Amino acid sequence: MRSFVQSANKRVPIRSNCRSNHLSLYISFRAYIHASIKSKAPCKLIYLAVFASLTVLPVSPQSATPSAQTAQPPADPARDSNRVLWPANSTPARNLDEVIDRAVNREHVLVDRLRTKEPVLETYIQEMKKDPDLGFVPEHDFYFLGKLNISNGIVDESFLPQRSALKKIPHFFTSFFSAQYYPGGFADEIFLDFDGFDRAHYRFEYVKKEFLGKVRCFVLDIRPQQSAGKRRFEGRIWVEDQGYNLVRFNGRYVPSPNNEFSHFESWRVNAGGLWLPTYIYAQDEAYRWGPVHTAPMRAQTRLWDYETSKDKAQQAFTELTVDSPQGVRDESQANSDSYSPVEAQRMWETQAQENITDRLQKAGLLAPAGEVDQVLDTVLNNLEVTNKIALEPAIHARILLTTPLESVAINRVILVSRGLIDVLPDEASLAAVLAHELAHVLLTHSINTKYAFADRLLFDDPEALKKISLGRTREEEDAADAKAIQILKNSPYKDKLPRVGLFLRMLSARSDEVPHLIKPLLGNRMSDTKKDLRLSGLTERAPALQLLDKDQIAALPLGSRIIVDPWSDRLRLLKAPTSTLASAKEKMPFRITPFMVYLTREGAATGTSQPAPPSSNPAAADRNPPPSQ
């Protein structure tokens, strides 16, 4: 497996056995710089730290120090000669040894199956600071979005634009984890051990049986063998009891004498006939080692779009053939044999819109139309009906799969990011977001129709956010704000506008701490500064922020509303019971929280069933391993 440093549009390979944890490298680098600045060390110390951090990376394979990846452990016949010894859903394991052997086998099969996949990978990091009343709150944030090449375990390309050489210099010291300089190694957290998960390298200890949602699992603790070499996983794994696939694991890599490896937990979701790596949560606390000091850190990694473009194209062709055996026919001009200039212009704009949305969906950035879109369309309809707005063709909403908070109108389609929907506290706040984009449509703020030419969209997926720009002018944004407030005052949400203003107040209050969360990928910022806020007129009606009042919910934590299918990118709403907050610490606006996934098997109904009832003697039932034979 390799890692890459991206610099000046050139990818430089790093030694193959330097599978450095991306969060750990980032933390280590920031620790050097932070320690030097805090201690007022001379500049040469800072330069030395930078040099030391960089020289770890571009080492040739010949000079690399042997590691766990180059060690030669004893051969494992069950792994090497019998890769598919036990197919999924075979007869139940007879004993614990067979559970372990099947789990090892299935993990290697999964690695092989995923070598042809290139899912989208998104990582969002928050450095935290301790608040005496609210606990940990964000202080800085970092963001990455790219395509993961499973075959090499690297992020092959970043979606994010690169800064120019001059702009890189001031950011190099404060934003090591960035699109310009990004170490790979995501496979360290997607897979427990990319090529060394076997009995030769690990010892296993049965703990209990446990349900994760509807899926019953064997829980085992694993530790590296003494001869396993460096950089091996130590922690706990969950193995589902039908196919014997790993569905969850948490721990860290050892040895880690200076805390260079982050603690993390990885979850998998059953989709596309596989248990796909989907969620990774990483967490580390403040750490001091001599003069070195690192801040507490929380990170979320999400993966989706495992279904290949070829699979999608074949499915779309099949659906078209089944649904329209005689082909697709334009019925809009059934009684005419020509188009007027006005109609031609509208069709040209629609062609540009469809080219953009089709390209974003192909790149794995836009979800297919589905049930969540219909919820947004209902809110749009409420705004249109009460304001006597009748547009043809009708306006519809689509959802970007990304975390940064943004919305943008493309002709008659409104795009809203998953991250923005997740943190909105109520329907009125969603209506305000949609009203702003509806105002752009009513004010005829058109997009650049250059995208109607298909050749402008013939580029590789990672170029999508670099080639497509949908930003508005400041004048257009101000006009849309004024029009949106007018629409909202005539809508069913008019009595709830103070709640909308409260959300905007919270967004403004946190804008300095989470700049990457509010930095759009396609359109305009919701907040440029604390004084430059979208729909700022609504904040005048809002009550003052009461951060210590547990009943005043201004914004939600990340991941509060939408679940993404990692194979097909289809969305569904999270169906979880409303939790009564115990204190203001649990409000956590815009915050990263751990993943806790309610697992189901593919094809089973989701969101309606309850966890299996506990045994009459849970301790005895859970702690008895399969019988030895």
Q: Considering only CA atoms, which of 283, 296, 246 is closest in space to residue 267?
A: 246
Give the pLDDT score at 25. 42
State the Cα angle at 188 between 186 and 191, rounded to 5°: 105
Cα separation of 316 and 415, whole Å?
Answer: 22
Give the pLDDT score at 179. 33
Cα separation of 433 and 602, whole Å?
Answer: 34
Domain-wise residue ranges, the chain: 14-308, 342-580
> What phi and psi, each to the nearest 5 degrees, are found at residue 485?
-65, -40
One-letter-per-residue 3-state SS of 44-59: HHHHHHHHHHHHCCCC
| Sequence-separated (6 or more) residues with CB below 8 Å from residue 318 | none
- Tokens 């042809």 belong to 116
Give the pLDDT score at 51. 40
DSSP 6-65: EETTEEEEPPTT----HHHHHHHHHHHHHHHHHTT--HHHHHHHHHHHHHTSS--TTTPP
> What phi and psi, each to the nearest 5 degrees, are found at residue 109?
-65, -40
Cα separation of 356 and 448, whole Å?
Answer: 11
Give start and end residues of each alpha helix (H) in 511-597: none
Residue spans of beta strands (DSSP E) within 464-564:
527-529, 532-533, 562-564
Start-to-end C-alpha separation, the chain: 39
Region for residue 229 given its phi and psi (left: phi exceeds 0; alpha: psi -120 to 50; beta: otherwise) = left
Distances from the Cα of 379 to the Cαs of 428, 438, 623, in angstroms? 9, 11, 50
> What phi and psi, each to the nearest 5 degrees, are found at residue 604?
-80, 150
Helix (H) or strand (E) holding 347, with range, is helix 341-362
Q: Considering only CA atoms, which of 590, 436, 426, 428 is closest in space to residue 523?
A: 436
Check if the beta carbon of residue 144 is closer than 8 Å to that of residue 160: yes
Give the pLDDT score at 41. 46
Residue spans of beta strands (DSSP E) within 255-406:
263-271, 274-284, 287-289, 292-294, 297-304, 396-400
Per-block average pLDDT, block size 10, for the chain (629 residues)? 32 34 44 43 43 36 33 39 49 93 95 92 93 93 89 74 54 39 54 89 97 98 91 95 97 75 92 96 79 81 90 68 53 70 93 97 97 97 97 94 97 97 97 98 93 96 94 94 97 96 94 94 79 82 93 96 97 88 95 96 57 38 52
Cα Rg of the chain (Å, integer): 26
Q: Considering only CA atoms, which of 487, 535, 496 is closest in space to residue 386?
A: 487
| Sequence-separated (6 or more) residues with CB below 8 Å from residue 609 | 214, 600
Cα separation of 590 and 555, whole Å?
Answer: 7
Give the pLDDT score at 149. 83
Cα separation of 361 and 307, whole Å?
Answer: 12
